[in-house]
Structure 1
Amino acid sequence: MKKFGNVLLLLLPLICVISCSDDDGNDDGFSSAELVGTWELVEVNVSSPIDLDGDGSSSNNLLDEENCIAGTITLRDDSTYQFEESNFILTPITNNLYVASCNGSNLATGVWASNGSEVAFQGSTLLGTLQLSNNRIIKTVGEDLPGISSFIYERR
């Protein structure tokens, strides 16, 4: 009986680990149906805070600093997409100052697919493969200082 008790004590932690594993059936993150809809650009993050609008307040998010920057990604249930984003250029001037100039829009259409943690866009090189995290679609760019580090979209 003592051996049975020892075996049970050894098996108990293993049983707890197995029984506590994630079994909610949603290991892949977002389903394709959850992605369908319009996603709005809510952040264009730069690596260092800058004050584009000259109000004395710097921000890492260019949308806080410049009104001409906007964008959307519309994902349809037939696996097609439409992308539109302001075409803007961030230019350094002097003394750690920058200016953003907006001119027209970047447009793209094509097809999309998702594995639940990423969404891949075909038909244009503007998007590529983007990450899905916390109800956001994230395009990581990672340009040099003070370049664009990411574009973040949230469902409208």
Structure 2
Amino acid sequence: MRPVFAISLIIIFLLSCDEMAPPLGEDELLMSQNANIQPRLLYGSWQISAMQANIPVDLDGDGSSNTNLLLETDCYDDMRIDFFENNGFFSINAQMDFAAGPGDDEFACLNNREDSGTWEINRDELFLYIVIGNILYTDSKTIKLSGNRFSFEVTKEESEIYVNDPGNTLVSDIQIVELEYSRVE
């Protein structure tokens, strides 16, 4: 009879400890669910809110360098992504091109490139499916969702989507390492 009593006490103790834990706040709850992000948490419009680079740069010539390129140029200001409940998406992207012009030595901001397709989320992995010229392209990213922000890491190869550099400019060593989007209210 004693082992049954001891086991009962342990179960009651464990249950009471769980009940005494403080409730999770919204951000903590979302972070604990990051391993299984629900699609409804992404529905809506998201605007670029940070574009982190590996090194600080002074693109605007004000004497202050930043790793967040949004503080250095307005080239990316229109970047956004809209996730629809029917699993469609629409995005606007931009690229700083340091190899523009006839001599490939001018700067140009190539913005307002539109992409659309379908999306899905599996756990914390976001999949985007885009058809270009009858070819299906799939992109996947592990995202971190916290409240009204989500972010994802960018590889060296993907960084070239946002910064095209011939290798001899002040941004030649720059690599975009993370993008962050914030929900548009």
TM-score, scaled relative to structure 1: 0.72
Residue in 1 aligned with 2:42? Answer: 35
Determine if contact 1:118/1:132 at 8 Å carries over to the other structure: no
Residue in 2 aligned with 1:149? Answer: 177
Identical positions, percent: 21
Separation in structure 1 between the aligned mates of residue 108 and residue 39 of structure 2, nearest angstrom: 35
In structure 2, the CA distance between the partners of 1:53 and 1:14, relative to structure 1 (3 Å rule), is farther
Residue in 2 aligned with 1:59? Answer: 66
**Runs of at least 5 residues in structure 1 that lack an aligned partner in the other structure:** 92-98
Q: Shift in Å at residue 138 of structure 1?
A: 2.1
Q: Shift in Å at residue 48 of structure 1?
A: 1.2
Residue in 1 aligned with 2:151? Answer: 138
Separation in structure 2 between the aligned mates of residue 64 and residue 74 of structure 1, nearest angstrom: 23
Residue in 2 aligned with 1:122? Answer: 129
Residue in 1 aligned with 2:6? Answer: 8
The structure where helix makes up a greater share of residues is 2
| Aligned residues: CA RMSD | 3.7
**Following superposition, which runs of at least 4 residues in structure 1 exceed 4 angstroms of deviation?**
24-29, 124-127
Q: Shift in Å at residue 55 of structure 1?
A: 1.0
Separation in structure 1 between the aligned mates of residue 80 and residue 130 of structure 2, nearest angstrom: 16
**Runs of at least 5 residues in structure 2 that lack an aligned partner in the other structure:** 100-105, 132-136, 160-172
Residue in 2 aligned with 1:105? Answer: 112
Q: Shift in Å at residue 152 of structure 1?
A: 1.1
SS in 2 for 1:69: coil
Separation in structure 1 between the aligned mates of residue 93 and residue 119 of structure 2, nearest angstrom: 17
Q: Shift in Å at residue 155 of structure 1?
A: 0.8
In structure 2, the CA distance between the partners of 1:13 and 1:84, relative to structure 1 (3 Å rule), is same
Separation in structure 2 between the aligned mates of residue 33 and residue 154 of structure 1, nearest angstrom: 15
In structure 2, the CA distance between the partners of 1:45 and 1:110, relative to structure 1 (3 Å rule), is same
Determine if contact 2:129/2:138 at 8 Å carries over to the other structure: no
TM-score, scaled relative to structure 2: 0.62
Determine if contact 2:76/2:111 at 8 Å carries over to the other structure: no
Q: Deviations over 1:81-105 (max 9, x none)?
A: 00111122368xxxxxxx9641243
In structure 2, the CA distance between the partners of 1:37 and 1:90, relative to structure 1 (3 Å rule), is farther
Residue in 2 aligned with 1:79? Answer: 87
Determine if contact 1:119/1:132 at 8 Å carries over to the other structure: no
In structure 2, the CA distance between the partners of 1:32 and 1:8, relative to structure 1 (3 Å rule), is same
Determine if contact 1:66/1:100 at 8 Å carries over to the other structure: no
Residue in 1 aligned with 2:162? Answer: none
Q: Shift in Å at residue 72 of structure 1?
A: 0.6
SS in 1 for 2:14: helix
